[in-house]
Amino acid sequence: MHSSSPESVTPAVARRAVLGAAAAAPLLAGLAAPQASASTRATGPSTAPAKSRRLRGGGDLGPNVLVFDPSTPGIQAKLDEVFARQESAQFGTGRYALLFKPGTYQGLNAQLGFYTSIAGLGLSPDDTTIHGDVTVDAGWFGGNATQNFWRSAENLALYPANGTNRWAVAQAAPFRRMHVHGGLDLEPTGYGWASGGYIADSRIEGQVGPYSQQQWYTRDSAIGSWLNGVWNMVFSGVEGAPAQSFPNPPYTTLDSTPVSREKPFLYADRGDELRVFLPQKRVNARGVTWGNGTPRGTSLPLSRFYVARPGVTAATLNQALAQGLHLLLTPGIYHLDEPICVHRPNTVVLGLGYATLVPEGGTTVMKVADVDGVRLAGFLIDAGPVNSPTLLEVGPRGAWRSHAANPTTVQDVFVRIGGAGAGRATTSMVINSRHTIVDHTWIWRADHGTGIGWDTNRADYGLVVNGDDVLCTGLFVEHFNKYDVQWYGERGRTVFFQNEKAYDAPDQAAVQNGPVKGYAAYKVGPDVATHEGWGLGSYCYYNVDPTIVQHHGFESPTRPGVRFHDLLVVSLGGNGQYEHVINEAGTATSGTSTVPSTVVSYP
């Protein structure tokens, strides 16, 4: 994460304080479990393996899922109580989902802290209307929004109290399926530093003002207008987006998104019966999915899901999957002593309130077979203290089947190594299955918190793509000891990439890659014939040894089929420098001015 000057909306360097892990705390007093329908309230999940009996789907969503309707008394007080607990709990254990049944709510200001998700329970955002705000600001951190991670807003219509809603977030904070009847400001009060972010399937009637936001990706949405850009603003399939103009202003604009399929979401059918909606795939997508009534797709009743609670074993989760159930992970932290194995086509694994999966003993957290249509969404993977070779594997090595008609999607699935405690993983995420869509991820080797250090939270590689025809939309990967992204599959595409190299390299020798100075942030394998990327940025801030030099931010074979559009590298305040942008192309960064070096087209 990094900072920019609030006064001039130009980059400058200011560092974030190092925060320790917050202590665990009891559940909020007076906040009751949600009221489910009789059909789903009757059976809660077991937390122990049950080899001798068949597991049942459905069940109560637990005490950290708070469900409101317009007649619920004291909604604002409950929202404030959750926020007070989560506002600065960056590495705490609390996890919350705030769900609003369809209807109209007056005079609310839902301030969101860490690990808090707010969502409407309608089929359309317009089914659940708040006359008020869903707010993220940075008062807890002195007006600096660069650490406002791990929170989300989905499926609501807002009429902001003063005409403009504030959403000052950094990474891993999606704004999905939202309808803002007014403007949207992406900077904190006082125009402090900001480093985000992601919007999808949303309509903002007024102006979006990023102000100090250094980078942003907006997909398949509609906006009234867009105010400005700092380094890297990328749009695909956005009605009202500014015209292509990189690097000045730094707008990368694609008329449509090549392939997209929106994230699964909970909704209430016939009153209290909860279902999970599964949006259909779109090709060359543009605009929102819900603009003309009911969105297109299918749905599943909650009874088809094993509703998991913290404390459940990996064996029980795998038994549920083997029985044909999907997984709904309620808010909390799950410790897993073996991988969750997804073998069945069209399986859904959906997390609520940043459900967090932690491997024990160096295991992989999740493995997906080479099958059609798996949907992974809405959870955080937190590396454990014993090194895991990998944390998430989509498809086995050598996967070859075509999934063009029904791809696997990985959406709002985030990975963290260190920060909440020592964590280690050689490779965070591996994509082997063809046609996989990775739609918004933040893969982060922590640069602050507890359990951090060059060899303490060692993690060599962020994302490795071996499968062909993989698409990444909204890719954030940061601070890995070696390559942040390695791409070996054919016909890969990335729309928007944000990266920082590891801050804490002790010296040049620690990052020396044979004869090359430093490991590229994004490397395309030497044998790849076809690849394309739009709007990719890499930043360096070597704060231990500011004399470290990166030869380039991007590395690829030089051939006509491998193409890049709108690349940049930035040295933050002169703490390290880049000699080139991609391969031998692009001018070197220099001095302390934090001015990007750009390449508009390569080769």
Per annotation, catalytic residue among 154, 187, 500, 579: 500
Sign of CA dihedral 45, 48, 50, 51: positive
Q: Is 360 a catalytic residue?
A: no
Whole-number Cα distances in Å, 187 to 215, 227, 274: 12, 12, 35
Torsion of CA 260, 264, 265, 270, to 10 degrees: 110
H/E run at residue 545:
none
**Other C-beta atoms within 10 Å of 343: how many?**
14
DSSP string, 242-307: PPP-TTSS-EEEESSEEEE-PPPEEEEETTTEEEEEEEPPEEEE-S-SSTTSSPSEEEEEGGGEEE
Give CA–CA dist 48/46, Å, rounded: 6
In the β-sheet with 198-200, what is the strand arrangement from edge to edge? 65-68, 96-100, 116-120, 151-154, 175-176, 198-200, 215-219, 232-236, 251-254
For 590, residues 6+ apart whose C-beta sits below 8 A from its C-beta are 571, 574, 577
Those residues with Cβ within 8 angstroms of residue 54's Cβ, 6 or more apart along the chain or in another chain? 323
Distance, CA of 78 to CA of 95 (rounded, Å):
15
Structure tokens given for 176: 């999905």
Find all residues with CB under 8 Å of 133, minimum gap 6, and list them: 108, 109, 110, 158, 160, 161, 165, 166
Burial of 290 from C-beta contacts in 10 A (0-12 / 13-18 / 19+): buried
Q: Which two tokens stand for residue 149?
A: 């991670």
Cα distance between residue 3 and residue 146, in whole Å: 7
User: Could you tell me how far CA 11 lies from the centroid of its own chain?
Assistant: 24
Helices (H), 124-252: none
Hey, which residues are catalytic here?
Answer: 500
